[in-house]
Structure 1
Amino acid sequence: MTVLGARDLNRATLARQYLLDRTTTPVKETVAHLCSLQAQEPQEPFTGLWSRLYAFTPDRLDRALTDRQVVRTHLMRRTVHLVTDDDALAWRARHDTMLRQRVLATYRRELADVDLDALAAAGRAVMADRRPRTMAELVDAVQGGRPGPPRRALGELLVAGLVPMAQLPPRGLWQTKGGVRNLPLATWLGRDVAPLPDEGDEGHGGDQGHEDPVGQQLVRRYLAAYGPAATADIRAWSGVAGLPAAVRALRDELVTFRDERGRVLLDLPDAPRPSPDTPAPVRFLPAFDNAILGYQDRGRIIDDAHLGLSVAGLRAVLVDGRVAATWTTDGRRLLVAPLRSLSAPEQEAVREEGHDLAVFLDRGIDRVDITAVRTAIG
């Protein structure tokens, strides 16, 4: 079995994430290819798309949101993601069990005695009037002044775990501040969430992988955007535990490799796997970008010493395809903090890309400063 080194995997990831070469693909199709963009910080996806799309302008994502082609919703790992309308409706039911379990695990004591079916029915009944509500307004309407579990716990269970919700614009629009207003996905998109065909492993699919078409689609789509990857990577990205049967059902159509740790990696036969010597341009990534977070083993793109930045909300700079710095803005400056010494040509490339990013951000930034090397972020 062919062994793929970290650099092989790095270049494959960059190619599939549109980080080797920007693409002219429309916004909706790009979000579909990437399977989603993590979006709990509403402005971050704009930078993620700017780094991937040729001549991207913010109004393109704004239009996709207001035209309901792309939607903000809780999905992978119980995190708010930007997902296409089609994927939100097709994938939500496959994530239902995981979403409920994660909320219940977070608020185990507070929600111990809640009747989930009754609460879900009450939430749907309240939202049947098609009026967008904040989480607090939804909790108030469901409780009707009666005592109950803590409002935060009840609200998160309703909007993330029980009633599939969309977060409506202006939340997530360019340089726009807006609180979260929720509406059921089916109401916002005018179509129902697709039901799953049968019950099984983790409530869905079970050992009948051939009866889990949604799980198989998730595996194929993940590999197209993130492969080659191990089954542990697929689970870490999705948060869904019940995909091994779907993987088994697909094994005959997949190719396999090993990484340097000996893990079996799966991939689509015709997916791009560029030469490890392929040049990789500097790229600025937003906070919580799935090019980093989309794996259980993130060693293909970030050193172990700096894994903490990927979950701490720090923005990353890729140099030669790997996380080599963090970045932020400070008044009229874009600040780059290297995680290792950068050569003079690397610093020049970082400044050039940083200046282009500053123009895109349109915040009066007039210089890019490279600071001293940071210590490890663990």
Structure 2
Amino acid sequence: MTKLSLQALNRATLDRQWLLERRDVPALDAIEHLVGMQAQAPLAPYVGLWTRLTNFHPDELVKLLEDRQAVRGSMMRATIHLVSSRDFLAFRPLIQPRLEREVYQNTTYGRHRLEGLDMDAVLRAGIDRMTESPATAVQLREYLGELWPDREPAALAHAVRCLLPTIQIPPRGIWNKGGNPTMTTANLWLAAPTPDTVPDPAPTAGADSPVEALILRYLAAYGPASVADAQTWSGLTHLTEIFDRLDLRTYTDADSGRTLYDLPHLTLPDEDTPAPTRFLPEYDNLLLSHANRTRFISKATRATLTLQDVLTKGTILHNGQATALWRQPKSPKSQAILEITPITPITPQTWTTLKTEAHNLLTFTTPSATHEIKRLDQ
């Protein structure tokens, strides 16, 4: 098998992620290509789409959410993701085992707090409450707590949020708006009352089942990748047998010796392909979707920073590597400040490049404000 260096893996995945060259496609196509975008920071996908697409405007995603073509709900790794509505309906059932683990193994809300509980009755009650109107977590706790006064209301609400296909409806996730997460079910929001009405996901050649389609879609956006990588991304287990029955090309990771899988029809870019500077939002899936993240975060960087340090702020890729962190603090409407904290040594030329893209980002997020770029060295 062909051996792939970390540099080759880096460029291959950047290419799949549309980070080597911005694409001129609709936002919905990008969301489906990426098999969703992590969205626990509600506005992060807007930056994630801006950094991957030409001429993206926030109104495009706002319309998708308000027209119910895209939704925000619990998906991969039991975290909130922005996905197309048809992908949520098709793939959300596959993620159910991960969400069940989130409920029953959760040290805060699960375990003994749910023992002996008629969970079917709790879920029916949750559906009844959300049928009346979409509900916040507080409203769910109040409603369920009255029905099960001997149980912890927060644990009941957490179980309903995870075990039912709940989604967070607008204005949560709407650009320049906000509000507490308000939930309803996909059946209520998307009018899909039975499994028979669930549409197929985006067509995937070579897939005979939804789980096979999910893996092929993952490889198209994040490959080449190992079985462990796919399990890290999805939160699912026992995927080896799925990989074994698919027609895939194999490579060897030159750094670790792992077997990597890929779609047979896809070619890899030259590992010396230039990689432009790109600003990723907090929790971008590029940095969360592999068990071994050294293709983007060097071992030296990981030795000085935890993954949480990297993910809770935006990340700047320079030459394909995590080079600095960024955040846009609150400031007066007339002024936009962007703070950059280098996490690797950077040259004056690199700093100039980072500042240029930072100004581009501020032009996107706050087009009418004056810009100020601050460097915060550790």
TM-score by length of 2: 0.89
Q: 1:237 aligns with which of 230, 233, 252?
A: 233
Q: 1:339 aligns with which of 308, 328, 343?
A: 343
Task: State the match for 2:166 in structure 1.
Answer: 165
Task: State the match for 1:148 in structure 2.
Answer: 150
Count residues in correspondence.
357
Separation in structure 2 between the aligned mates of residue 175 and residue 339 of structure 1, nearest angstrom = 30
Q: 1:169: Cα distance to partner?
A: 0.3
Separation in structure 1 between the aligned mates of residue 80 and residue 56 of structure 2, nearest angstrom = 22
- State the AA in 2 paired with 1:175: N
Q: How does 1:112-151 map to 2 (within 5 A)?
A: 112-129=115-132, 131-151=133-153
Separation in structure 1 between the aligned mates of residue 374 and residue 271 of structure 2, nearest angstrom = 30
TM-aligned CA distance change 1:147 to 1:231, over 3 Å? same
CA contact (8 A) 1:185 1:193 kept: no
Question: For each residue in 1:226-255, what CA deviation from the matched residue of structure 2 results, as whole angstroms up to 9, or x when unmatched?
Answer: 0000000000000011422221210xx210
- State the AA in 2 paired with 1:322: Q
CA contact (8 A) 1:90 1:194 kept: no
Task: State the match for 2:316 in structure 1.
Answer: 317
Separation in structure 1 between the aligned mates of residue 287 and residue 359 of structure 2, nearest angstrom = 23
Q: How does 1:1-378 map to 2 (within 5 A)?
A: 1-106=1-106, 107-129=110-132, 131-161=133-163, 163-192=164-193, 194=195, 213-250=209-246, 253-259=247-253, 260-304=255-299, 305=302, 306-309=305-308, 312-330=311-329, 331=331, 332-362=336-366, 364-372=369-377, 374=378
Separation in structure 1 between the aligned mates of residue 273 and residue 111 of structure 2, nearest angstrom = 49
Query: What's the secondary structure of 1:128's corresponding residue?
Result: helix
Q: 1:340: Cα distance to partner?
A: 1.6
Separation in structure 1 between the aligned mates of residue 324 and residue 371 of structure 2, nearest angstrom = 20
CA contact (8 A) 1:16 1:272 kept: no
RMSD, aligned CA: 2.1
Question: For each residue in 1:309-331, what CA deviation from the matched residue of structure 2 results, as whole angstroms up to 9, or x when unmatched?
Answer: 46651211000011000011243
Query: What's the secondary structure of 1:144's corresponding residue?
Result: helix
Separation in structure 2 between the aligned mates of residue 92 and residue 79 of structure 1, nearest angstrom = 12
Separation in structure 2 between the aligned mates of residue 22 and residue 73 of structure 1, nearest angstrom = 26
- State the AA in 2 paired with 1:333: I
Separation in structure 2 between the aligned mates of residue 193 and residue 286 of structure 1, nearest angstrom = 36
CA contact (8 A) 1:212 1:246 kept: no
TM-aligned CA distance change 1:67 to 1:279, over 3 Å? same
Separation in structure 2 between the aligned mates of residue 158 and residue 10 of structure 1, nearest angstrom = 39
CA contact (8 A) 2:276 2:319 kept: yes
Separation in structure 2 between the aligned mates of residue 168 and residue 268 of structure 1, nearest angstrom = 35
Q: 1:262: Cα distance to partner?
A: 0.5
Separation in structure 2 between the aligned mates of residue 72 and residue 6 of structure 1, nearest angstrom = 33
Query: What's the secondary structure of 1:366's corresponding residue?
Result: strand
Alignment gaps of 5+ in structure 1: 196-209
Question: For each residue in 1:76-118, what CA deviation from the matched residue of structure 2 results, as whole angstroms up to 9, or x when unmatched?
Answer: 1110000110110001111112101112111212222322222
TM-aligned CA distance change 1:298 to 1:160, over 3 Å? same
Query: What's the secondary structure of 1:355's corresponding residue?
Result: helix
Give the fraction of aligned pairs with identical amino acids, expressed as a percent: 36
Alignment gaps of 5+ in structure 2: 197-205
TM-score by length of 1: 0.89
Separation in structure 1 between the aligned mates of residue 130 and residue 240 of structure 2, nearest angstrom = 36
